[in-house]
Amino acid sequence: MSAPVIERALPTPEAHDLLGLTREIASAELLPRAADDEAAGRFPRDVLRTLGQAGLLSLPFPEEFGGGGQPYEVYLQVLEEVSRAWLSVGISVSVHGLATYPMATAGTRAQQQEWLPFMLSGEALGAYCLSEPQSGSDAAALITRAERDGDDYVVTGTKAWITHGGAADFYSVMTRTSDDGHRGITCLLVTAESDGLSSAPPERKMGANASRTAAVILDGVRVSQERRIGAEGTGFAIALSALDAGRLGIAACAVGLAQAALDAAVSYARDRRQFGRPIADFQGLQFMLADMATQVAAARALYLEAARLKDAGRTFSREAAMAKLFATDAAMRVTTDAIQVHGGYGYTQDFPVERYFREAKVLQIVEGTNQVQRMVIGRDLTR
Ligand SMILES: Cc1cc2nc3c(=O)[nH]c(=O)nc-3n(C[C@H](O)[C@H](O)[C@H](O)COP(=O)(O)OP(=O)(O)OC[C@H]3O[C@@H](n4cnc5c(N)ncnc54)[C@H](O)[C@@H]3O)c2cc1C
């Protein structure tokens, strides 16, 4: 049985068409391959090219540079549908946006004219490099050094956990240019062919193995000052602002994954018979499905509210943190319950729900752990 179409109040006919196109690509190109590529740990670069050619890799960026000119309200619902079919691909779309965000928001006009058409071409893939082996939640403690040498910076250090590490065409890298804490961080654009740039073998993860995650090593990489994004010392503010938007992406990915788990649970409950009737007839099971559906709907409403604030030019940092926190915790609960609905079969690799459960876990960790989201919300409430 094909997955139900979600009722969405979309703002324009164009948005309806985009969601329709996304569902078509998802069912033709993503769903049939997801399980095998995940099991094999294959990074689906070709699928990302297909999405790029359809314009789905650059939706929230300006049309004048090749973007889709779509509001976050629409972009995130597209991202949700992509993730419903294949979370790893949704993560790639979201991270590409995260990597492009610094140039799109803090680059000079001349830099944007030079770089955004490439970044938004649908062919290029970006990576966002903030984390390091010793600095995760305390991201401002990063030590990757960028030393001035004539008109260049010379960058040395290791970036940990980089999504698309070794597979990206460009890297937005947060570096240390002075010892002045978070005010000593500078954002540099590094392209893949740079001498001295390499990547470690991909991490061996518990899930989302088709999403490539690898440390990126910078060993004396020369970066022209013309590739500095924003002024020296503004890199941390740029990184956090990108994360505010990126967290909305992760929330949408989480809703897509949770929706997939709910779809699978409802379908199984209708088919599976015990005590002479479908298990879906039992109120105990219906209550579990009702709670799952309510959490998915609430998480969707929360990310859409934050997206509408962003689209209206209002502050949305607290709301983005709330959406990421709630949606990813909801995805963890819903994927856990989806296994319960399947009984013993849910614990096997013959059904997708055990994979969804493993995939949900990472969403509570990336782009700020859910403890960090609570810090963001708590600080905003009490400042
Ligand atoms: C699959 C994957 C992909 C990733 N992709 C990227 C990427 O593309 N780019 C990138 O830059 N990074 C990426 N990351 C890194 C990710 O952002 C970090 O893993 C995350 O920020 C947490 O850092 P950490 O792993 O060092 O954990 P730590 O910061 O060491 O945290 C360990 C635990 O302590 C808790 N903790 C820490 N400080 C506090 C506090 N003050 N109060 C309460 N609890 C606290 C944390 O919540 C966590 O539970 C990725 C990670 C993974 C797993």
pLDDT-derived band at 346 (thresholds 50, 70, 90) equals very high
Nearest CA to ligand 1 atom 4: 161
Domain membership flag for residue 351: yes
Last residue of a domain, one of 236, 263, 282: 236
Last residue of a domain, one of 203, 220, 236: 236
> How are the residues of the chain apportioned to helix, strand and coil, as percentages rounded to the nearest 5?
55, 15, 30
Mean pLDDT of 154-169: 98
Pocket of ligand 1, candidates 38, 100, 130, 161: which has the most ligand atoms within 8 Å of its Cβ, to mutate? Answer: 161
Q: Are residues 159 and 292 in the same domain?
A: no
Q: Are residues 246 and 374 in the same domain?
A: yes
pLDDT at 325 > cutoff 60: yes
Mean pLDDT of 160-171: 98
Q: Are residues 142 and 196 in the same domain?
A: yes
Domain membership flag for residue 2: no
pLDDT-derived band at 3 (thresholds 50, 70, 90) equals confident
Domain membership flag for residue 145: yes
Arithmetic mean of pLDDT over the chain: 97
Other CB atoms within 10 A of residue 81 CB: 28
Nearest CA to ligand 1 atom 31: 137
Q: Are residues 188 and 156 in the same domain?
A: yes
In this prediction, residue 1 carries a pLDDT of 52
User: How far apart are alpha carbons 79 and 60 in whole angstroms?
Assistant: 11
Paired with 163 in beta bridges are 213
Nearest CA to ligand 1 atom 22: 136
Q: In Å, what is the CA distance from 93 to each residue of 156, 333, 347?
A: 28, 24, 29
**Token pair for 160:** 């940990």
230: left (phi over 0), alpha (psi -120 to 50) or beta: left
Q: Are residues 110 and 180 in the same domain?
A: no
Q: Are residues 154 and 50 in the same domain?
A: no
User: How far apart are alpha carbons 197 and 252 in whole angstroms?
Assistant: 32
Mean pLDDT of 53-75: 97
pLDDT at 2 > cutoff 90: no
Instruction: Check which CATH number belongs to the domain holding 69 and give it.
Output: 1.10.540.10
Domain membership flag for residue 7: no
Q: Are residues 169 and 87 in the same domain?
A: no
pLDDT at 70 > cutoff 70: yes
Show Cβ contacts of residue 85 under 8 Å, excluding neighbours closer than 6 positions: 26, 27, 30, 31, 34, 256, 260
Q: Are residues 224 and 255 in the same domain?
A: no
Cβ proximity of 165 and 134 under 8 Å? no
Residue 282, φ and ψ in degrees, nearest 5: -80, 130
pLDDT-derived band at 12 (thresholds 50, 70, 90) equals very high
pLDDT at 332 > cutoff 70: yes
Atom of ligand 1 nearest to the CA of 367: 17
Range(s) of the domain holding residue 222: 126-236
* DSSP letter (8 states) at residue 383: -
Number of structural domains (the chain) is: 3
Question: Could you report the per-residue pLDDT of 209-239, keeping only the tens digit for each?
Answer: 999 999 999 999 999 999 999 999 999 999 9
Residue type, 193: E
Other CB atoms within 10 A of residue 148 CB: 11
Other CB atoms within 10 A of residue 331 CB: 33
Atom of ligand 1 nearest to the CA of 211: 1
Question: Could you report the per-residue pLDDT of 280-311, keeping only the tens digit for each?
Answer: 999 999 999 999 999 999 999 999 999 999 99
Domain membership flag for residue 167: yes
Give catalytic residues, as residue numbers. 367
User: How far apart are alpha carbons 204 and 22 in whole angstroms?
Assistant: 30
Ligand 1 centroid distance, CA of 367 (Å): 7
H runs (alpha helix) in the chain? 13-25, 31-40, 45-53, 72-85, 87-106, 109-119, 235-271, 283-311, 317-342, 353-363, 370-382
Rg (CA), the chain: 21
Buried b (16+ CB within 10 A) or exposed e, 7-26: ebeeeeeebeebbeebbebb
Residue bearing tokens 């990472």: 362
Q: Residues enclosing ligand 1, CB less than 6 A? A: 95, 128-131, 136-137, 161-163, 205, 213, 362, 365-369, 371-372
Ligand 1 centroid distance, CA of 213 (Å): 13
User: How far apart are alpha carbons 183 and 201 in whole angstroms?
Assistant: 32
Nearest CA to ligand 1 atom 45: 371
pLDDT at 65 > cutoff 70: yes
